[in-house]
Structure 1
Amino acid sequence: MGKRKNLTDWVHHAPHSNQLERIEAFFSGYAYDLHRHDTYAIGRTLSGVQSFQYRAGQRHSLPGGTIVLHPDEIHDGQAGSEDGFHYRMIYIEPALIQQVLGGKPLPFIKDGISTDPRLHAATSVLLQSMDCAIDPLEEEDALFDLAYALGAVVGAPKNRQSFDYLAAERAREFIHGALDRTITLSELAEQSGRDRWSLSRDFRVLFGTSPYRYLTMRRLDLVRSLLLHGQSLASAALVAGFTDQSHMTRHFSKTYGLSPARWLKIRGAGPATAPAT
């Protein structure tokens, strides 16, 4: 095998969206440690081989397919060849999918990669060049199309059990207003009008993660925003409701697969040229 090329890793973020995060990135080798986040990660490999561990197996994404990583599923990321890999990815909160599906279990793509043309077509708007801002109404239409495409590819759920979507949504909204303090499951149950364990079950099925993990992720969202605005790691951790910097860093690394410092470094690198593939 020849000597590995000296290539620079970078991550390019799309213009701001209130609803989802869109990135384009290149990694020459190692990208992310094992981690899990509470969003769908849906993407497309543009060049190279994008390899990752997912559900006790090694996956290899090539150009032409669609990556669909389910919320809270452990995965990592690295190049499958010495040329590195170039990809685009969108991170979508399950709550957005539920606004379309209205209380059905979240669609699950078993192997994390799909060659179904319906998913490829439904992601074309959201996975276009990061330099192109998406019109708000176009983005809403694209999210609707994606939710239905996911449901169509997966098919009807075998379990016909009903879930209390409205109660779970009340609990989710309450969490957003209490990021800076301790929340108990009993308090969420009182706010939602649902008993504790039914609420906990429904929340996981409908939003892809537990109430505590959801709270932690929203705190990490705040940390990332504060870091980008120049706050120190210690200050951002305390403002977002973590015990201290080390507490925040542990959760950050387990969620994003890299440390806050490396995340900031790669975020600031930027591509020399971002292709419009």
Structure 2
Amino acid sequence: MSKHKDSSDHRSSKKHSGSKKSDKKRPKDGSACEVTKGRVRAHFLDGETGPWAKRLADQASAADDVVATSASAPKADSANAAAEVAAASPRHQGPDYTVPSSIDIVADPVLHAMSTRRSISKVDGETPNDSDLREIIRSLSSVADHKGLRPWRFIILRGEDRHRLGVALDEAAAVTRKPGERNEKPLRAELLLALVSSPSENPKVPEWEQHATAAGAGHLLELALWQAGWGVMWRSGTMTNEPAVRRLHRLSPGELLMGWFYIGAVPERYRERMAHSTRPLPDPDQFLETL
């Protein structure tokens, strides 16, 4: 990314001038932040990527109640009140978005899910039930969606439906199998969700933009499932929109099949691998430039 001396000096000066303010907001020894990070990592490795955020919120609420009670108590009780606050929750106070360096990828549940998400190629057999899927898909309405067209839909494939998908993929690829053989690819998970981009005619929203919205819904689905503790792999392939596969999914001429989400429990071997992973996040400068 190109840098100019003027803007760089300005940013440096601004950061320096604001350092005093930000120092006051951070614990001197960083212990509170480290405690929070440790707890978050522990919850993640225990397979509780979703519930931990609720626990932290409940603890924060309990601490706030203690603070409210101590505010009306005699000054002599202030030391005891402070101890009760500390005992109620060693919580992180949350990111201060006015100071970029205060954003904490580990402690913020949204950034945490985004930065830790991994595609799990081989998931275990346990899956979310259809009621859970309904709630997760309900949350996808937050995706950027010009004119609120909701140009996407999902199709649930379980059990025999996965075998039907295998047959359609074989037909599309002109594959003939021996008696008793079957296409094993759709059987790599007990639950598949097919994502269909379903654009509609709108003079202000071109088709490509509606496809982008559908893809955005797919990415949000992955994040939501990951945050809830499930493993996901988004798969497609050259046969995805061949006639036989399109017929199986009952696609209309203007629709586009964007692949399948293979969903299941995260195997313990993956958790072990992630616990010892040293893979760094990419340098954000490779995605940024200026006009």
TM over 0.5, yes or no?
no
Q: Which has the higher helix share?
A: 2
More strand by share: 1
Q: TM-score, normalised by structure 1?
A: 0.21
TM-score normalised by structure 2 residue count: 0.21
Q: Answer with 1 or 2: which has the greater Rg.
A: 2
